[in-house]
Amino acid sequence: MTPLNPTDQLFLWLEKRQQPMHVGGLQLFSFPEGAPDDYVAQLADQLRQKTEVTAPFNQRLSYRLGQPVWVEDEHLDLEHHFRFEALPTPGRIRELLSFVSAEHSHLMDRERPMWEVHLIEGLKDRQFALYTKVHHSLVDGVSAMRMATRMLSENPDEHGMPPIWDLPCLSRDRGESDGHSLWRSVTHLLGLSGRQLGTIPTVAKELLKTINQARKDPAHDSIFHAPRCMLNQKITGSRRFAAQSWCLKRIRAVCEAYGTTVNDVVTAMCAAALRTYLMNQDALPEKPLVAFVPVSLRRDDSSGGNQVGVILASLHTDVQEAGERLLKIHHGMEEAKQRYRHMSPEEIVNYTALTLAPAAFHLLTGLAPKWQTFNVVISNVPGPSRPLYWNGAKLEGMYPVSIDMDRLALNMTLTSYNDHVEFGLIGCRRTLPSLQRMLDYLEQGLAELERNADL
């Protein structure tokens, strides 16, 4: 029996019909060379024999003295959690994304361990897919990504590999993996991590400096007052998932041409897509949109390597020219990173918590519409850089499937894999119609940067 920590309890508390609180991932594989046509059906039979279920996948929710705890499910029904399914013809990526959209809309059964794995056949070109979803109270998004990677191998000849529910147990400590999460900052605001009193002087100084900049410069002011936007309405429980890969070489070429980072370019791609999408909906605010962007912050004077912080980044969606927009995004990111370089990790967490206070209050209650601190989440999670295989089947793509909330109808999450950047967009189907068109707008945003740089 393991008590839930406050962050995990928050995910349960926030969940409602229109706001499922599970994260997911879609993995696309190609058949091993020489595999028979019924390869996926044979794989399903093999997986059904993997009846050993390790933590956290053997844990279900229970209550002791009114408090939620994790207990081992002694009657776990693997048939409920592992499902073998087929796409309707013609088995295109469109049908696959429609399947994930529908499944990601469904709440999970709290009387059972809250996870599902869907093995999906019927794709064209001798491919198959795995869609996995796990409740966010059980694992965070980064941990889920790590587990999905641990079940894979760099050796295409390795077979007999276990599914995700049968991996060796990992510690459930969120300490490192969820360090850049919005929810870590929210729980911090609720007083759950407020013992770092020594950070107060530096945090107060930096916060005052930021506020003074906001008073003098409208660009800084937008960080505290994001515009009202169709992205920030109440949502329904229906989801639409859109996903696509981009070659990392193209993005790096733009980086070199403009002197920016990969994170700057993918953020600019998202900004361009949002600008075009909202313009086509006749809903682009005059003020620039603001994004919640977790970033890696290298500390060159420290042996600690990288640290992670959160930046509230202006997307400069009021700027028409793509190159100018990218450079403005880059300068804003660099300015925030420079601020963080003078702060300890604890000070960064506290500073982030204070600047997110209006957003947290509004997201949790909806009672402060004028405190719209940001409009969208853009999260870039590093992934494996080499080709990976699962029982001989090559992993062709891996796409994150995240969470939408009331007043936060779109989440743009991406990861890197084998010289590609994999975008996964999840949005409310009713609030954001024709969300799949944003994939075309992402491509247009990158192509415009390439043209302007003569690439």
The residues assigned a catalytic role are: 136
> Starting at the edge strand that comes first in sequence, how are the strands of the sheet with 115-123 ordered?
82-86, 115-123, 127-135, 22-30, 393-401, 389-390
* Cα gap 239→369, rounded to integer Å: 23
Strand duo 115-123 + 127-135: pairing: antiparallel
End-to-end CA distance of the chain: 58
Q: Which residues of 410-423 are buried (b: 16+ CB within 10 A; e: fewer)?
A: bbbbbbbbbebbbb
Are residues 104 and 241 in contact, defined by beta-carbon separation less than 8 angstroms? yes
Are residues 272 and 448 in contact, defined by beta-carbon separation less than 8 angstroms? yes
* Cα gap 186→377, rounded to integer Å: 15
Q: Which residue has the tokens 């506290």?
A: 350
- The total of other beta-carbon atoms located within 10 Å of residue 236's CB is 16
- Torsion over CA of 88, 91, 97 and 103, rounded to 10 degrees? 30
- The total of other beta-carbon atoms located within 10 Å of residue 66's CB is 5
Q: Which residue has the tokens 């966010």?
A: 136
Are residues 24 and 191 in contact, defined by beta-carbon separation less than 8 angstroms? no
Are residues 412 and 445 in contact, defined by beta-carbon separation less than 8 angstroms? no
Give the chain's radius of gyration (CA, Å): 22
Are residues 199 and 256 in contact, defined by beta-carbon separation less than 8 angstroms? no
* Cα gap 440→379, rounded to integer Å: 19
* Cα gap 237→17, rounded to integer Å: 6
* Cα gap 322→324, rounded to integer Å: 6
CA angle 373, 374, 378 (to 5 degrees): 150
Phi, psi of 15 (to 5 degrees): -70, 135
**Closest Cα partner for 263 from 120, 382, 101?**
382
